[in-house]
Amino acid sequence: MSERDEALKKIKEEVIGLGASPLYAERMRNKYFPVIGEGSHSAEIMFIGEAPGENEAKTGRPFCGRAGKVLDDLLISVGIERKDVYVTNIVKDRPPGNRDPLPDEIAIYAPFLDRQIEIIKPKIVATLGRFSMQYVMTRYGLEWELDSISKLHGKVFSAKDFQFIPLYHPAAAIYNQHLLGTLKEDFKALRTLI
């Protein structure tokens, strides 16, 4: 096992045992899994969502439900294989009722995401949704550029160690069909970065 694999395995073990998380009891009560991340440990592109949904919590896999199908189709549309990217969330456990993650939940899980970015060293970080966009922009020195996702989606920013592109969450295209075309255009921009 490589050093990178070992470091990511350590994160997984820490999240599994994260009894201090406000979502831990919810995970245990529902027999859910934490959703750590999935994909290439040397990926050039890392996708960061917000928090797992029910399908993800039942399987331990990120983006495996309807939003995951949209993500897979978007990747195929620009000739990128899912196995070549890394997909994760800021919050690694499912918030009850699929609600938005709370600030204290983001705070407890964000250091794991920071370590995943540090270990994988992606060239491109693409956030999926506004919570992950806000976190990455604030954490990686782009807070002065922060605006609504409707204004920033598809734009490319340079952070210290990677190119950053905020994207709408794929679930948004399930509920708002006109966003699917927007996401497809934004994925074309993503493709030009690799």
Three-state DSSP state, 97 = helix
Domain 3-191 class, CATH top level: alpha beta
What span, in angstroms and rounded, lies between the C-alpha atoms of 166 and 71? 14
Among the listed residues 181, 180, 124, 130, the one whose alpha carbon sits nearest the alpha carbon of residue 156: 124
Where along the chain do its domains lie?
3-191
Can you list the residues of the chain whose pLDDT is less than 50? none
Question: What pLDDT, on the 0 to 100 scale, is given for residue 191?
Answer: 87
Q: Which residues pair with 46 in a beta bridge?
A: 86, 125
Contacts of 166 (CB under 8 A, 6+ apart): 126, 127, 133, 136, 137, 149, 152, 153, 154, 155
pLDDT at 74: 96
Contact of 132 with 49, CB cutoff 8 Å: yes
pTM for this entry: 0.96
Cβ atoms of 86 and 37 within 8 Å: the answer is yes
pLDDT of 93-103, one tens digit each?
999 988 999 99
- Residues contacting 134, CB < 8 A, separation 6+: 146
How high is the pLDDT of residue 146?
94
- Assign residue 147 a region (left: φ > 0; alpha: ψ between -120 and 50; beta: otherwise): beta
Output the pLDDT for position 48: 98
